[in-house]
Amino acid sequence: MDVNAAVAALAAIAGACTGVIAMLAFRWSERDQARPTRTSLHTDAVLPPGVDTVLSVLRSSAVVLDEGDSVVKASSAAYALGLVRGGKLAVEPMLHMARDTRRDGEIRQVELDLPRRGTGRGEALAVSARVAPLGSRLVLLLVEDLTEARRIEAVRRDFVANVSHELKTPVGALSLLSEAVMDASDDPEAVMRFAGRMQIEATRLTNLVQELIDLSRVQNDDPLEDAEPVRVDELVAEAIDRSRQPASTKQITMAAGGTADLHVWGHRGQLAAALGNLVENAVNYSPAHTRVGIAARRVTAPGGDLIEIAVTDQGIGIPDKDKERIFERFYRVDPARSRATGGTGLGLAIVKHVAASHGGEVTVWSTEGQGSTFTLRLPEAGTGRDRSSRSSHDHTTIEPLTAPEVLP
């Protein structure tokens, strides 16, 4: 009995000690939780009330610095731009601005060109930085990315310069030719010759103005507001008819083929203009006695079936260095040849904008001396047919170009 009593006493003492230790640990944990952490000192305890919420909804990159130049708060955009690294502001000019503002309380603003992170190509990132005091000890830095705005402004300047040059050329030619006509008023043959040249320049000027209007329209209008199912066969037939005369002059064979009865959803006029530009370019840049093919097919895609319309020629081809730029406005691979064929340099830009506004794209394959293939991909319009009954052949193959239309 004495032994049992001793064991019970020892167990009671051990239980009491365990309880005391558990209580002390719990109180110690509560004290640690109540103690302000370094993170809370740099956010909740330091930032004025409501500032954290305001900074989270700003579109600009935001950085808050304390009196020791340490980052108290930074938005995710600030990290993405590379402004903050290792808890410090990594841009030296901005850091000097912050120190000056902390010293005299004045708001400062500057525009800087910063290197892009991870590119290694020396590309500049244009930003606008604004520094202002935040309370008595903190400094707020707001940074706006101006890179895209500057790029758009450069494109606009180039566009205005190119338009001025392109308009000046035919207008100057018309002025000189009119003077020549006046000087040759007593020579009917010379008058006829100069008048013919004037008609050519007037036509070029008219085409340029019309394509400028078309480009402005496809850039500003929403084609899906007046969208409708459009038969691809009709678009192809219209494009062939548009280039019938120049193809006949050069004895170029135009052939249409592929899958029949396809439909795309969009603005009929814009789609017709885009495909017409591709076929017209194929004819203009192909030598005589060659072939231009237009073929359509259906292809599967994760977001839904697409319609591919490919325009293939046997022309001069496009150098590799120019393939990325041929869709730019007024860009020409061969300016002299383009002007000789009456090209304005806007046709492919219109095609690109039409494709993009319809939820599609345009791509090019080309080899110098072998020809080019421009492919216009557009979302398919529903036709009300049961697509489950279509065979895999309909989705993955394209019929050979059949029933070619040979132009005399």
Rounded mean pLDDT, 390-400: 35
- Highest mean pLDDT (candidates 54-68, 229-243, 339-353, 378-392): 229-243
| DSSP count for the chain of H helices, then E strands | 13, 14
Closest CA to 164 of 130, 217, 212, 104: 212
Rounded mean pLDDT, 122-134: 83
CATH, range 42-145: 3.30.450.20
Rounded mean pLDDT, 161-178: 79
Q: Which residues pair with 253 in a beta bridge?
A: 291
What's residue 45's pLDDT?
41
Q: Answer whether residue 221 shows pLDDT above 90.
A: no
What's residue 18's pLDDT?
58
d(CA 6, CA 142): 74
- Highest mean pLDDT (candidates 65-69, 294-298, 335-339, 402-406): 294-298
Provide CB contacts within 8 A for 357, sequence distance 6+.
218, 222, 223, 224, 270
Q: Answer whether residue 408 shows pLDDT above 90.
A: no
Look up residue 52 and give its two tokens: 């954290």
What's residue 395's pLDDT?
35
> How many CB atoms sit inside 10 A of residue 256's CB?
22
d(CA 255, CA 236): 10
Tens digits of residue pLDDT in 52-61:
777 777 778 8
37: confidence class by pLDDT, cuts 50, 70, 90: very low
Q: Answer whether residue 384 shows pLDDT above 60.
A: no
* Cα–chain center distance at 86: 33
8: confidence class by pLDDT, cuts 50, 70, 90: low
Look up residue 230 and give its two tokens: 């459009």
What's residue 223's pLDDT?
63
DSSP structural state of residue 315: S
β-pairing, 291-299 vs 253-258, is parallel
What's residue 396's pLDDT?
31
d(CA 57, CA 127): 19
330: confidence class by pLDDT, cuts 50, 70, 90: confident
Rounded mean pLDDT, 197-209: 83
What's residue 148's pLDDT?
83
Q: Answer whether residue 307 shows pLDDT above 60.
A: yes
346: confidence class by pLDDT, cuts 50, 70, 90: confident
Rounded mean pLDDT, 118-136: 76
Look up residue 196 and give its two tokens: 């013919």
Q: Angle CA(388)–CA(391)–CA(395) in degrees, nearest 5?
A: 95
What's residue 23's pLDDT?
60
> How many CB atoms sit inside 10 A of residue 128's CB?
15
DSSP structural state of residue 380: B
- Highest mean pLDDT (candidates 28-32, 191-195, 220-224, 322-326): 191-195
| Arch. (CATH architecture) of 224-408 | 2-Layer Sandwich (3.30)
Q: Answer whether residue 283 shows pLDDT above 70.
A: yes
Tens digits of residue pLDDT in 232-241:
999 999 999 9
Closest CA to 253 of 265, 262, 242, 244: 244
What's residue 211's pLDDT?
73
39: confidence class by pLDDT, cuts 50, 70, 90: very low
Residues 220, 362: contact at Cβ < 8 Å?
no
**Which residue shows structure tokens 């209007």?**
213
CATH, range 148-220: 1.10.287.130
Tens digits of residue pLDDT in 82-112:
888 888 888 888 989 889 998 888 999 988 8
Q: Answer whether residue 340 shows pLDDT above 70.
A: no
The H or E element containing residue 216 is helix 188-220
Q: Answer whether residue 35 shows pLDDT above 60.
A: no
Rounded mean pLDDT, 24-29: 53
Q: Answer whether residue 308 shows pLDDT above 90.
A: yes
Rounded mean pLDDT, 315-343: 70
d(CA 269, CA 121): 42
